[in-house]
Every structure is written in structure tokens, then in C-alpha cells.
């Protein structure tokens, strides 16, 4: 995420690193570079200027803090200012109401339907009763798409494919929700390729008549300044409650995320980082700023782990590790759990310092495929007792999985090293204590 911007900011801080004090001259040079970095990340020009002016003012105002190195101090100031720029605090998302109505607006292709499915999934996981409603009266395919997503996440989808009146469909959906005890109705609406009068009138009418609890505007972050301009236009007509930034997993430069809040004066409430139904997150400005600055986001990482790691599984696993019985079956189920947490590169980027190291590295879920193929080609007995795997078994596993003997050997070696490490940990007792705390 935002690799390019992170790299350029890092470069800008280097100007100050190694210098003993902050002076007007070295700050001016660094701030100029920060401004350039922001503008080349497609941040709105005025926003970039205002924020760098503030950074400069702060840096010069704090030169009394000589105990902190100037480079570090500036990183801290930039972190604070980027956080403010993106809204400061996490914004609330209101789901009170009977039912609460969440209206989803945005251009076609921005990711509205996908987001509707993800939001339904997120709320359902929190134990809420949700109903998805297909109000795209122009594209029958959009109705089918929502139905598929609804089925995937186990949430009912209300649709009337023959009806061409979006408001009527939405009202019927609300009635249906009341009758079936659903507490939240998510209304996916029609979008157009570009802003046009008819679409605006329609969504305006929906908003007026439905009086939604939350109106969200979904925007593709890859479109940079266009995203900011579209948000502005929608907001003037809709006065929406919050923004959803999608496709942050892609090659976005970051401009939309950084400028939308300041320009439109509406908070970013959610971010979407992939096509899978669990690639949705609440938007935390401070965590995003840390990630942009390559400082990682350990809090989100831990939260993701807690959400996705099955407690019972973890307990069982800890027991096996303590008894030196960790086997390939466990290894495979660990891989599955990690994959559930989302995009691997994104996850690694949450570890402080890893962002930079990851730059240009091509890692995704597919990177696990060879390992999975090899383990899946082992027999049950081999997975449970890796010591069984001799030369001829290795040959069979390699040809069964379509991988080379070398790859099988590498995996065996890595696995062996892992087990050795676990054994040492157990012997030292420290590991036992650490694991006991977990399980």
C-alpha cells in the first residue's frame, strides 16, 4: 500500500538524519521534499501545501526538544499531521434503527456491490441480522452479482428483478426486513460510468424518501484526484455521512485517501483491500499514517489475528507444540488460517520496518500453493509423522504435487528447523510459559 509515497517520504527524512539540530534551512529542504512526495502521490495541491506548512511550523517550534534526533522528531510530526489530514479519530458508524438503513452510493465500478456484500458479512459476524437489497434497476447482472455475494456470506438478498422503481423496491425491502426480524438493511444502488443528472436525481430521491441511518459514498482509490472530485460532487447533492475507499490493495498512489477528508470534509469510514468478502476494515487515520510512514500497524495485525484465528484450534496447536507433536497437518491448517487474514503482502506491511523490505516483492496467496500442493500429496501417515518420509517417498510426493524434489527437500528442511526451534523453546521453558499464556 502506497509504496511509492512511503519510499519518497523516507528519502525526505534522510536529509535530516545525521544532523544534530533542526534549522530553518534543513527543515525547509526536507519539507519541500515531503510536499513533492505528496503531490506526486496525487494529493490535492492545496492540501499538500497546507499540511507541509503546518509540518514546518511545528518542526521549527519544537527545536527545543534536542533529546530527540531531528529525523525522528520530523517523522513524528509528519505522522501526526497525516493522521489529522485523514480525519484524526476513527469515525463512528451508526447502525441504530428498526431497521437501520444503509444507503450505498457511488459510480459504477467503484466497488459498491462488492462492498455491500463485505459490509453485510462484517455485520453478520458481529451477530447482527442483515438484509441486502438490490436496487440497481438498470443492470440485471448487478442483481445477480449481489445474490451470489449474499449467498457466499450467508445473508438474504431482497430483489424484484421486474420492478423498475428503486424506491418501491427499497420500501418493500424495509417491510420485508421488519416482517423477518432483520435489523439492518443495506441498499445497493445503481451507478453510472460518470456523474450524470438522472443518477443524481435518483439517489437524491432515495435518500430523501428513505432517510437512511447512514449514507455511504463508495469510491475507487485508484482514481486519485478524480475520486476526490467525484466525492465532492456527490456530497454537494447527497450530503453523505461517510466515504468508503476501495481497491487500496491495488497500485494506488494514495492521493484519494490523503485528500478526501480535507477537501470533502466527510470522514472515511471503511476501506476495502481486495475482492474477497473479508477484505474490509474500519478506517483508522492513525494506523494508516503509520503504515504510510513504514512504521507498521501492529494493532491491526493483532486484531486481524484475533478475528481469524480459531481459539479452540490455537489451544490444540499449542498443546501439540508443547508435546513436540507439531506435524504437517498442523502446518497446513496454520497456512489456511493465515490466508483467511487477508492479503499476505498487506499483512507483512503491517509489521514495522517490513514495508520497505517488501517493496517490489511479489508475494500473494499463490505463494503458498507449492507448499500446499506438496503437503497435500503426502499420505495421512506421512503428515502425522514426517520422519517416515524417506528418499523414495519424497520422489512420489514430488511427482504427485508437480513440484521438484528440491522443493520437497526445502520444505522438509524448513519444517525440520521449525520443529527443532519449537523443541528448544519447550526445553527452555520460556516458550512453554509464553504458549501457556496464549492457550
Residues that bind ligand GDP (CB under 6 A): 106, 108-114, 191, 246-247, 249-250, 272-275, 279
Answer yes or no: is 429 a known binding residue.
Answer: no
Answer yes or no: is 189 a known binding residue.
Answer: yes
Cα gap 282→288, rounded to integer Å: 11
User: How near is the Cβ of 178 to ligand GDP at its closest, in Å?
Assistant: 26
Residue with smaller CB distance to ligand GDP, 108 or 229: 108
Answer yes or no: is 108 a known binding residue.
Answer: yes
Answer yes or no: is 111 a known binding residue.
Answer: yes
Do 90 and 282 contact (CB within 8 A), yes or no?
yes
Across 53-79, b (16+ Cβ under 10 Å) vs e yields ebbbebbeebeeeeeebbbebbbbbbb
- Check the CA dihedral 390-391-393-399 and report its sign: positive
- Check the CA dihedral 38-40-42-47 and report its sign: positive
Residue with smaller CB distance to ligand GDP, 113 or 259: 113
Cα gap 260→266, rounded to integer Å: 8
Residue with smaller CB distance to ligand GDP, 131 or 244: 244
User: How near is the Cβ of 296 to ligand GDP at its closest, in Å?
Assistant: 21
Residue with smaller CB distance to ligand GDP, 186 or 279: 279
Answer yes or no: is 110 a known binding residue.
Answer: yes
User: How near is the Cβ of 66 to ligand GDP at its closest, in Å?
Assistant: 45
User: How near is the Cβ of 247 to ligand GDP at its closest, in Å?
Assistant: 4
> What's the DSSP call for residue 223?
G
User: How near is the Cβ of 111 to ligand GDP at its closest, in Å?
Assistant: 3
Place of cell 499463490: 366
266: left (phi over 0), alpha (psi -120 to 50) or beta: beta
Answer yes or no: is 190 a known binding residue.
Answer: yes
User: How near is the Cβ of 345 to ligand GDP at its closest, in Å?
Assistant: 12
Answer yes or no: is 390 a known binding residue.
Answer: no
Residue with smaller CB distance to ligand GDP, 144 or 204: 144
Do 355 and 3 contact (CB within 8 A), yes or no?
yes
Residue with smaller CB distance to ligand GDP, 82 or 134: 134
Cα gap 396→389, rounded to integer Å: 10
Do 113 and 248 contact (CB within 8 A), yes or no?
no
Answer yes or no: is 293 a known binding residue.
Answer: no
Place of cell 514430488: 398
User: Would you state the torsion angle of the CA atoms of residues 144, 148, 149, 154, taken in this order, to the nearest 10 degrees?
Assistant: 130
Binding residues are 106-113, 188-192, 246-249
Amino acid at each position: 500500500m502506497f509504496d511509492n509515497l512511503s519510499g519518497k517520504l523516507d528519502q525526505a527524512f534522510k536529509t535530516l538524519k545525521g544532523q544534530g539540530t533542526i534549522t530553518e534551512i534543513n527543515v525547509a529542504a526536507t519539507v519541500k521534499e515531503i510536499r513533492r512526495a505528496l503531490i506526486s502521490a496525487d494529493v490535492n495541491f492545496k492540501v499538500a501545501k497546507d499540511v507541509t506548512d503546518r509540518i514546518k511550523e511545528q518542526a521549527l517550534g519544537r527545536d527545543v526538544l534536542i533529546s530527540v534526533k531531528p529525523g525522528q522528531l520530523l517523522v513524528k510530526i509528519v505522522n501526526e499531521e497525516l493522521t489529522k489530514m485523514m480525519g484524526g479519530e476513527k469515525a463512528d458508524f451508526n447502525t441504530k434503527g428498526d431497521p437501520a438503513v444503509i444507503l450505498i452510493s457511488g459510480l459504477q465500478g467503484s466497488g459498491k456491490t462488492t462492498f455491500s456484500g463485505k459490509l453485510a458479512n462484517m455485520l453478520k459476524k458481529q451477530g447482527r441480522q442483515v438484509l441486502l437489497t438490490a436496487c440497481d434497476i438498470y443492470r440485471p447482472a448487478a442483481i445477480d452479482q449481489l445474490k451470489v455475494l449474499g449467498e457466499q456470506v450467508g445473508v438474504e438478498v431482497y430483489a424484484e428483478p421486474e420492478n423498475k422503481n428503486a424506491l418501491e423496491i427499497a420500501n418493500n425491502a424495509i417491510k420485508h426486513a421488519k416482517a423477518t426480524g432483520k435489523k439492518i438493511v443495506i441498499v445497493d444502488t445503481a451507478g453510472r460510468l460518470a456523474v450524470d443528472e438522472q443518477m443524481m436525481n435518483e439517489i437524491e430521491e432515495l435518500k430523501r424518501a428513505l432517510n437512511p441511518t447512514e449514507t455511504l459514498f463508495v469510491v475507487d482509490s485508484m482514481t486519485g484526484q478524480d475520486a476526490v472530485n467525484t466525492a465532492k460532487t456527490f456530497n454537494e447533492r447527497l450530503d453523505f455521512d461517510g466515504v468508503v475507499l476501495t481497491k487500496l490493495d491495488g497500485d494506488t498512489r494514495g492521493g484519494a485517501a490523503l485528500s478526501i477528508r480535507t477537501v470533502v470534509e466527510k470522514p472515511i469510514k471503511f476501506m476495502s483491500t481486495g475482492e474477497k468478502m473479508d477484505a474490509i476494515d474500519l478506517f483508522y487515520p492513525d494506523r494508516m499514517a503509520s503504515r504510510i510512514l513504514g512504521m507498521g500497524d501492529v494493532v491491526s495485525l493483532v486484531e486481524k489475528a484475533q478475528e481469524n484465528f480459531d481459539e479452540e484450534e490455537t489451544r490444540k496447536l499449542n498443546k501439540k507444540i508443547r508435546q513436540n507433536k507439531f506435524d504437517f497437518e498442523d502446518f497446513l491448517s496454520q497456512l489456511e488460517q493465515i490466508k483467511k487474514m487477508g492479503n499476505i503482502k498487506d499483512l507483512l506491511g503491517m509489521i514495522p520496518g517490513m514495508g520497505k523490505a517488501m517493496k517490489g516483492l511479489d508475494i500473494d496467496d499463490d505463494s503458498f500453493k507449492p507448499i500446499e500442493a506438496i503437503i497435500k500429496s503426502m499420505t495421512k501417515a506421512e503428515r502425522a509423522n514426517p520422519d517416515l518420509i524417506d528418499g523414495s517417498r519424497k520422489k512420489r510426493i514430488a511427482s504427485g504435487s508437480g513440484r521438484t524434489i528440491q522443493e520437497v527437500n526445502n520444505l522438509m528442511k524448513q519444517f525440520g528447523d521449525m520443529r527443532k526451534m519449537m523443541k528448544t523453546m519447550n526445553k527452555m521453558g520460556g516458550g512453554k510459559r509464553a504458549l501457556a499464556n496464549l492457550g
